[in-house]
Structure 1
């Protein structure tokens, strides 16, 4: 959550929820455990591992690849 009246503070969270709503949609699950499993599966298999960050700054990598690259750079710097 960002500061009151500053829409840019909350942009990353709003972007995530927009993608989740678009991909998962408004369906009904038989129980809460099934809903949690489906949403967890979406986040871990698509959102973090296959979705490309479509910007030259991020090198067109997935968030998972970006994190691994960052950790490797930090290890080399230490």
Structure 2
């Protein structure tokens, strides 16, 4: 994976979600996440980087689960004619299905988007 890809993903997350200063961004120790550019973008946004231990999938269980789900629900369902077609399908699966619609038992059968909205409503009402 290229550094510019993860920096672009970080920028997209900053634009869409407006995380609070001090929000923790957890990753593995891939070179793209240990790069100066990625670290600089985290710092300039007031975010804190966190990295799992080397060769420890336990530190990254949520992402391991995500990749397994994508493999089962999307990648293993058909073959792809081009890298562009695959990239488009992955984006569509994540942004139009997995995050806004797919229900997850670990978060009360809510979608990730609905769960995050409920969390922010709760935090806002606790402050008020």
TM-score where L is the length of structure 1: 0.76
> Which 4+ residue blocks in structure 1 deviate beyond 4 angstroms?
none
- Confirm whether residue 38 of structure 1 aligns to residue 89 of structure 2: yes
Compute the displacement of 1:3 (Å).
0.2
Cα gap change, 1:10 to 1:35, in 2 (>3 Å): same
Could you give the per-residue CA deviations for residues 2-59 of structure 1, whole angstroms, max 9, x where no partner exists? 202543202111111101111122444333222111111111222112221213xx22
Which residue number in structure 2 is paired with residue 63 of structure 1? 112
* Correspondences of 1:1-78 after superposition (within 5 Å): 1=28, 2-26=52-76, 27-55=78-106, 58-76=107-125, 77=127
- How far apart, in 2, do the equivalents of 1:46 and 1:61 lie? 13
How many pairs does the alignment contain?
A: 76
The 1:73/1:6 distance shift into structure 2, 3 A limit, reads same
Runs (5+) with no aligned partner, structure 2: 1-27, 29-51
Which one has a larger percent strand, Structure 1 or Structure 2?
A: 2
User: For 1:19 and 1:59, how far apart are their aligned partners in 2?
Assistant: 18
